Structure 1
Amino acid sequence: MARTYRPTYDYNDHTLTPPTPGADLILQVGLVQSLPGIGPKTGGQYIGIPRVIGPLHTRLWRPHDQVEMTLPNTELQLWNTPFVVAGHRQGVFDLAARPGWQWLRWTIADHVAHDHQRVAKADHEITPVYPNTHAEPLVIVPCGATKAAFPRVAGELYTGGYRRLALRAAHALTTCTNIRIVSGLHGLLPLDQVIAPYDLRLGQPGSITVDQLEAQANQQGLLGHPDVVILAGRDYTRLVHQIWPQARTPLASTRGIGEQQHRLARIAARS
Structure 2
Amino acid sequence: MIRGLAYGFPSPGAQESWNPRAFSCGNKKKPDPGLNEYGKKNPGYPAGELYTGDYHLSLRSAADALTDPSLIRICSALHGLVDLERSLRSYNVRLGDPNAITQEKVAGHAASLGVHDADVIFLGGQGYADLLRPAVPHLYTPLVGGMGDHRGQCRQARENPALRDAWWNAAADRHAAVNEKTQPDGAPPGLRGHASDEA
TM bucket by the smaller chain?
0.5 to 0.7
Q: Displacement, 1:248? A: 1.2
Aligned partners of 1:142 and 1:232 also within 8 Å: yes
Aligned partners of 1:137 and 1:173 also within 8 Å: no
Aligned position for 2:79: 186
Question: CA offsets, 1:156-180, max 9 Å, x none?
Answer: 0000011111011111111111100
Aligned position for 1:266: 156
Aligned position for 2:27: 145
Work out which of the residue numbers 176, 193, 208 in structure 1 matches 2:101.
208
Q: Distance in 2 between matches of 1:145 and 1:242?
A: 24
Question: CA offsets, 1:37-77, max 9 Å, x none?
Answer: xxxxxxxxxxxxxxxxxxxxxxxxxxxxxxxxxxxxxxxxx
Q: Distance in 1 between matches of 2:151 and 2:72?
A: 18
Structure showing greater relative contact order (alpha-carbon pairs closer than 8 Å, 6 or more residues apart): 2
Aligned position for 2:140: 248
Tell me how many residue pairs correspond in the alignment: 140
Aligned partners of 1:185 and 1:201 also within 8 Å: yes
Q: TM-score, normalised by structure 2?
A: 0.66
Aligned position for 1:230: 122
Residues 107-146 of structure 1 correspond to what in structure 2 (within 5 A)?
A: 130=10, 133=14, 134-146=16-28
Q: Displacement, 1:270? A: 2.1
Q: Amino acid of the residue matched to residue 192 of structure 1? A: E
Provide the secondary structure at the position in 1 that maps to 2:117: coil
Unaligned segments of structure 1, at least 5 residues: 1-128
Tell me how large the CA RMSD over aligned residues is.
Answer: 1.6
Unaligned segments of structure 2, at least 5 residues: 1-8, 34-43, 162-199
Q: Distance in 1 between matches of 2:19 and 2:67?
A: 6
Q: Amino acid of the residue matched to residue 257 of structure 1? A: M
Aligned position for 2:41: none
- Cα distance 1:255–1:223, how it changes in 2: closer, same or farther (>3 A)? closer
Aligned position for 1:164: 57
Q: Amino acid of the residue matched to residue 256 of structure 1? A: G
Q: Displacement, 1:222? A: 2.6
Q: TM-score, normalised by structure 1?
A: 0.49
